[in-house]
Amino acid sequence: MSSVEPGDWMQSKTNPSVFLEVLTVAPDGGVRVRIAGQEANTTKRYLLNGYAHLEDDSA
């Protein structure tokens, strides 16, 4: 999965105990996330390089 969508949950590739939730995605590639109870702005490129999507194993 190479896209980033609101509602996605991602896990850090370097620290598996770090998770974030994608809140909004702007057309210019800007992304608003919630991590450790705080909201922050970042980019799709940064997320895709440093984080992996959590897979839904419930199916």
Sequence letter at residue 56: D
Is residue 50 a contact partner of residue 14, using CB atoms and an 8 Å limit? yes
Query: Would you list the domain boundaries of the chain?
Result: 9-53
Helix (H) or strand (E) holding 47: helix 44-50
Q: Which residue has the tokens 């974030």?
A: 20
**Tens-digit pLDDT profile for residues 12-48:** 999 999 999 999 999 999 999 999 999 999 999 999 9
- The pLDDT-based confidence of 1 (bands split at 50, 70, 90) is very low
Q: What gap in Å lies between CA 59 and CA 48, rounded to an integer?
A: 24
